[in-house]
């Protein structure tokens, strides 16, 4: 079990592990392709709710909550699981910059109510999803024993 | 073609986030996730700049796919931001969790706005 600081981060190690950098790059590419796929599935409409990015961010948060519990339980000795799946795939899948720019665009498109709904709705749903992902995974693991 | 541009941008953006986060986190000992804060603010600035340019046609779609959807999309992260916030909250640092959300979102908007402003200054 790696030493963690408050906030659940691994204690900062002095050296960058280059195998991890490659794992993050490969995972990030895959995650971004999945995000692009959802954008193609639900193309953004002018003045419309950004469905694809909303689903992407909430789903990614649910999955990271589950992943962190599973990684600590089953893959504590696998050093590339969290860089590849967490920092890479889920980090590349979810996006903060598109969220911010989409809110700005809704304001510019004269849909301030939708902008506020999307702004607050993403924060609330994402945090609830991250919490639920961890809590549900812990429950399932306990039930299995 | 577009998926390849997104892939290429993300394969640079994601490891860049990892390296920036690593560099920032090894330089402080507070519980605040400054690393994620930094990448999200930086990525929002660049995407603000690109998005404003894309609207008036001065940034072509291919550049937006490579640097916007690909690089900035993967440089910034919502999953780590949420996970770190939840961990702060459940570890008892509730005030810090609330501060993290409000400061990260405010900084993201300020950064994207500055990016858009810089873009309009460049284009004249």
Convert the pLDDT of each residue in A62-77 to its tens digit.
999 999 999 999 999 9
Q: Quick one: what percent of chain A has pLDDT higher than 70?
A: 90
Distance between CA atoms of A117 and B121, rounded to whole angstroms? 31
Residue that is written with structure tokens 């590349």 in the block = A92
Residue A10: the pLDDT is 55
Residue that is written with structure tokens 């910034």 in the block = B76
State the pLDDT confidence band at A2, using cuts at 50, 70 and 90. very low
**Smallest Cβ distance to B79: which of A9, A64, A123?**
A64
Residue A23: the pLDDT is 98
A53: number of Cβ within 10 Å: 24
Q: Quick check: A58 pLDDT over 90? A: yes
Task: Look at B72 and A14 and tell me if their CB atoms are within 8 Å.
Answer: no
Sign of dihedral through CA atoms B11, B71, A31, B34?
positive
Query: In B, which residues are within 8 Å of A28 by CB distance?
Result: 10-11, 13-15, 17, 74
Q: Quick one: what percent of chain A has pLDDT higher than 90?
A: 84
Residue that is written with structure tokens 């992407």 in the block = A56
pLDDT tens digits along A85-108? 999 999 999 999 999 999 999 999
Query: In A, which residues are within 8 Å of B26 by CB distance?
Result: 12-14
Task: Look at A12 and B47 and tell me if their CB atoms are within 8 Å.
Answer: no
Query: In A, which residues are within 8 Å of B90 by CB distance?
Result: 131
**Smallest Cβ distance to A101: which of B40, B51, B75?**
B51
Query: In A, which residues are within 8 Å of B12 by CB distance?
Result: 25
Closest CA to B75 of A23, A54, A10, A24: A24
- Model confidence, pTM: 0.94
Residue A16: the pLDDT is 86
Q: Quick check: A9 pLDDT over 60? A: no
Distance between CA atoms of B17 and A51, rounded to whole angstroms? 25
Residue A54: the pLDDT is 98
Average pLDDT per 10 consecutive residues for chain B, totaling 124 residues: 96 98 95 97 98 93 98 98 98 97 98 96 84
**Smallest Cβ distance to A95: which of B15, B73, B105?**
B73
Residue A144: the pLDDT is 87
Residue A7: the pLDDT is 54
Q: Quick check: A1 pLDDT over 80? A: no
pLDDT tens digits along A125-144? 999 999 999 999 999 999 98
Task: Look at B82 and A64 and tell me if their CB atoms are within 8 Å.
Answer: yes
What does the mean pLDDT of chain A come to? Answer: 92
Residue A14: the pLDDT is 61
Distance between CA atoms of A115 and A109, rounded to whole angstroms? 10
Task: Look at A61 and B82 and tell me if their CB atoms are within 8 Å.
Answer: yes
State the pLDDT confidence band at A3, using cuts at 50, 70 and 90. very low
Residue B1: the pLDDT is 86
Which whole number is the average pLDDT over A113-123?
98
Closest CA to A19 of A82, A90, A93: A82
Q: Quick one: what percent of chain B has pLDDT higher than 70?
A: 100
User: What separation in angstroms does the CA of B22 have from each of A28, A48, A130?
Assistant: 16, 37, 22
Provide the shortest C-alpha distance from residue A33 to chain B (in Å).
Answer: 6
Whether the predicted interface score ipTM is above 0.90: yes
Task: Look at A32 and B6 and tell me if their CB atoms are within 8 Å.
Answer: yes
Query: In A, which residues are within 8 Å of B51 by CB distance?
Result: 101, 104-105
Q: What DSSP string runs through chain B?
A: -HHHHHHHHHHHHHHHHHHHHHHHHTT--SSS-HHHHHHHHHHHHHHHHHHHHHHTTSS-HHHIIIIIIIIIHHHS-SHHHHHHHHHHHHTT-HHHHHHHHHHHHHHHHHHHHHHHHHHHHHH-
């Amino acid at each position: 079990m790696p030493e963690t600081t408050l906030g659940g981060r691994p204690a900062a190690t002095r050296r960058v592990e280059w195998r991890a950098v490659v794992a993050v790059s490969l995972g990030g590419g895959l995650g971004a392709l999945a995000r692009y796929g959802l954008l193609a599935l639900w193309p953004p409409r002018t003045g419309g709710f950004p469905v694809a990015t909303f689903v992407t961010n909430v789903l990614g948060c649910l999955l990271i909550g589950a992943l962190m519990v599973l990684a600590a339980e089953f893959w504590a000795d696998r050093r590339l699981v969290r860089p590849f799946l967490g920092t890479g795939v889920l980090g590349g899948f979810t996006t903060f910059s598109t969220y911010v720019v989409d809110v700005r665009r809704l304001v510019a498109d004269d849909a301030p109510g939708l902008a506020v709904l999307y702004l607050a709705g993403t924060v609330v749903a994402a945090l609830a999803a991250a919490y639920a992902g961890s809590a549900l995974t812990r429950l399932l693991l306990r039930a299995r024993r | 073609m577009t998926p390849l541009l997104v892939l290429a941008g993300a394969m640079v953006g994601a490891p860049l986030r990892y390296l920036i986060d690593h560099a920032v986190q090894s330089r402080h000992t507070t519980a605040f996730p400054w690393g994620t804060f930094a990448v999200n603010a930086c990525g929002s600035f660049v995407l603000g700049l690109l998005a404003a340019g894309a609207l008036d046609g001065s940034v072509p779609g291919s550049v937006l796919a490579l640097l916007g959807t690909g690089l900035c999309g993967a440089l910034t992260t919502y999953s780590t931001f949420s996970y770190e916030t939840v961990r702060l909250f459940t570890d008892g640092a509730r005030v810090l969790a609330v501060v993290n959300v409000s400061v990260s979102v405010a900084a993201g908007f300020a950064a994207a706005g500055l990016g858009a402003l810089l873009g309009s200054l460049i284009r004249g």
